[in-house]
Amino acid sequence: MPEHNPTQNTDAQNSRDNRDAETSVARPTWAEIDLDALAANFREVRRLVGSEVRVMAVVKADAYGHGASECARRLAAEGADWFAVALPEEGMELRRAGIVQPVLCLEGFWEGQAGACLAHKLVPVIYRLDMAEAFAAAARATGSVADVHVKIDTGMGRLGVRYSAAEEFARALKKFKHLRVDGLMTHFASADDAACDSFTGEQLARFHAALDSFRAAGHAPTFIDMANSAATFAHAAARGNMVRPGGVLYGLWRDVLPSQSESPSLRPVLAVRSRIILLKWIGAGETLGYGCTFEAARPTLVATLPIGYHDGYVRALSNRGRVIVRGQYAPVVGRVSMDLTLLDVTDVHGVELNDEVTLIGADGELSLTAEEIAKIAGTISYEITCGISARVPRKYKAGDRLRIAD
Ligand X SMILES: *Cc1c(COP(=O)(O)O)cnc(C)c1O
For the annotated catalytic residues, the residue numbers are 60, 290
Q: How many CB atoms lie within 10 A of CB 398?
A: 16
Cβ 219 vs Cβ 181: under 8 Å: yes
Q: Which is nearer to ligand X, 76 or 256 (CB)?
A: 256
Residues 6+ apart with CB under 8 A from 105: 84, 85, 86, 87, 88, 90, 91, 117, 122, 123, 124, 125
Asked if 225 and 185 touch (Cβ cutoff 8 Å), the reply is: yes
Contact criterion met (CB below 8 Å) for 69 and 61:
no
Q: Which residue, 138 or 191, is less far from ligand X as judged by CB?
A: 191
Please report, as residue ranges, which positions from 160 to 199 form the binding site for ligand X (by CB under 6 A): 187
User: Could you tell me where the beta strands, DSSP code E, fall in 41-145?
Assistant: 54-58, 82-85, 103-105, 122-126
Q: What are the φ and ψ backbone dihedral angles of 148, each rounded to 5 degrees?
A: -135, 160
How remote is the C-alpha of 331 from its chain's centroid? 27
Q: Residue 362 class from Cβ within 10 Å (0-12 exposed, 13-18 middle, 19+ buried)? A: middle
Beta strand pairing status for 223-227 and 401-404?
A: unpaired
Shorter beta-carbon distance to ligand X: residue 23 or 190:
190
User: Which of residues 256 and 343 has its CB atom nearest to ligand X in the complex?
Assistant: 256
Cα 48 from chain centre:
20
State which residue, 235 or 395, has the beta carbon closest to ligand X.
Answer: 235
Residue with the closest Cβ to ligand X?
246
Q: What is the distance of C-alpha 175 from the center of its chain?
A: 37
Q: Which is nearer to ligand X, 72 or 282 (CB)?
A: 72
104 sits near ligand X (criterion: CB under 6 A): no
Is 154 a binder of ligand X (CB under 6 A)?
Answer: no
Containing 27, the helix (H) or strand (E) segment is none
Report the alpha-carbon distance of residue 253 to residue 307 in Å, rounded.
Answer: 26
User: How many whole angstroms separate alpha carbon 387 and alpha carbon 317?
Assistant: 14
Q: Which is nearer to ligand X, 210 or 256 (CB)?
A: 256
User: Is the distance from CB of 214 to CB of 182 less than 8 angstroms?
Assistant: no
Nearest to 154 by CA among 238, 279, 36, 93: 238
Please say which residue, 188 or 294, places its beta carbon nearer to ligand X. Answer: 188
Binders in 61-90 for ligand X, by CB under 6 A? none
Q: What is the DSSP letter of 315?
A: G
Q: Rule CB under 6 A: which of 251-280 touch ligand X?
A: 256
| No. of helices (H) and no. of strands (E), the chain | 12, 22
Count of CB atoms within 10 A of residue 11's CB? 8
Out of 37, 57, 58, 238, name the contact with ligand X by CB under 6 A: 58
Q: Rounded to the nearest whole angstrom, what is the least distance from the CB of residue 308 to ligand X in the complex?
A: 27
* Residues 210-249: x where in contact with ligand X by CB under 6 A, - otherwise, as a string: ------------------xx--------------xxxx--
Shortest distance (Å) from residue 222 CB to ligand X: 17
Does the protein bind ligand X through residue 106 (CB under 6 A)?
yes
Please give the size of the binding site for ligand X, defined by CB under 6 A. 11
Interface ranges with ligand X (CB under 6 A): 58, 60, 106, 187, 228-229, 244-247, 256
